[in-house]
Amino acid sequence: MASIPRRWIGRLGIATLLVSLGVAAAALSASGDAPTAAPDVGAFAIEQQAASAPPGLYVSGARVTERTKERTSTKQLDNAALAPLLGKGSPVAVPSPDGRLLAYNSWRSTGPTGGTPTLRLFDFASSADIVLARGAQAPAWRHDGSLAYEQADAPAFGSTAPYQRRILVRDSASASPTVWTARADLYGVIGWAGDRLIVGRASPDGQSGELLAFDRPNSSHLLAVNSGLVAISPDGAHVLVSDGGPGLSTPLRLRLLDVTDGSETASLVLADEIGPSSGGPVEWVDVPGSWRGDLVVMTASPGLLVVRVGDKSVKAEQVLGLDLRQIGTDGVYEPRFVDGTKRIVLWGNSPEGTTPRTFQLDCDRVALTCLRGPDTLAASRPAYDRSGGTE
């Protein structure tokens, strides 16, 4: 795709996509997981103020709700789940692999931009809710119940000094932590890839960074630089990263990297993909994405991008438009596959300047419909782990 001039896209690109996606749809059908006719490009029709209750684990303020097809249960946390320093690129709450515990980020504010992040642990059975570490955030569970997080030397986040953190790992939630980075830096926990811990390290000016894979304390290798980490594969063997884009030296692309050594297994140049409404290219993709089976969904400039990842390939599956103006938001975030890979749930904020509210979008990527839920005051977020290697 990279070699195709953009002016040809209108003629060649759609035809190419249709052919390749026809093959992909057939493969999907064979897998029995999703649809027989998922359109390759298109725009979602939005049904406003539509109630929906997708299955999964969600937090909203200090409430945690678990929905299955059979029942819905809600528990009360001692603190609101909040992560102002993480934004929407990392989960605000992360369930343990056995589903018994919830590690969640909370925040004690000391002003408009100051405060102390605190990592808390909630026990679903007893409703016990304890402080695990102050000045700590970004938990990620390993398949065996080990818990990684980052913790600042000075817990309070201020306005000037860099908020340097170390990476710590506990063998279990009740075990003492082991320091995995002897030196404090602008480290961030992203998730486990099997037994390796994927960590980001931002540059001192906070504008760029590198992705590292730690095998054990103080032992890591470089995976990528200046890249977004879209998702870790369910088997923990690969990471899907994005790099390049407008204003950068390389075109926007997705790269599939082997976690063992950072080598590139496959790549997809996105700058030539079609946007459904404008006919223009995909200009950006954002993280985090959701990886289930061999499909990954992520937010992108047109709305949503779904790609299919093979052993040595990354191919565009769908480029789907979301009319943010019609939905009434400045942006959407944290798309998650639920119920297989046909249904995608994501969230949005009310536009800047209005009372802060959030809403849920429950989308069907085959029928190209989205149910836009009502606005709620407490920010609603999915509880999930970016880790892979738990399957």
Scan residues 64-123 and list those touching other proteins (CB under 8 A): 82, 84-90, 107, 112-113
When asked if residue 277 is in the footprint of other proteins (CB under 8 A), the reply is no
**What would the two tokens of residue 306 be?**
């779904």
Residue with tokens 């990886």: 291
233 makes contact with other proteins (CB under 8 A): no
Question: Exactly one of 1, 9, 94, 138 binds other proteins (CB under 8 A); which one?
Answer: 138
- Closest approach of Cβ 241 to other proteins, in Å? 8
**Shorter beta-carbon distance to other proteins: residue 39 or 288:** 288
CB closer to other proteins, 176 vs 355: 355
Backbone φ/ψ region at 4: left (φ over 0), alpha (ψ -120 to 50), beta: beta
Rounded CA gap, 252 and 125, in Å?
46
Are 385 and 191 spatial neighbours (Cβ–Cβ below 8 Å)?
yes
Q: Which of 20, 79, 116, 226 binds other proteins (CB under 8 A)?
A: 226
* Of the candidate residues 1, 17, 64, 211, the single one contacting other proteins (CB under 8 A): 211
Rounded CA-CA distance 75/220 in Å is 39
| In the block, residue with structure tokens 């897998």 | 31
Q: CB count, 10 Å around CB of 155? A: 16
Q: Using CB under 8 A as the criterion, what x/- string covers residues 40-69 for binding other proteins?
A: ------------------------------
**Judged by CB under 8 A, does residue 349 bind other proteins?**
yes
Strands in 129-134's sheet, in edge-to-edge order, are 93-95, 101-109, 115-123, 129-134
Among the listed residues 207, 219, 311, 312, the single contact to other proteins using CB under 8 A:
207
**Tokens linked to 344:** 């995608």
d(CA 25, CA 20): 9
Which residues bind to other proteins, rule: CB under 8 A?
A: 82, 84-90, 107, 112-113, 138, 157, 159-160, 186-190, 198, 200-209, 211, 226-229, 241-243, 245-247, 249, 283-288, 301, 324, 329-331, 333, 349-350, 352-354, 356, 358, 379
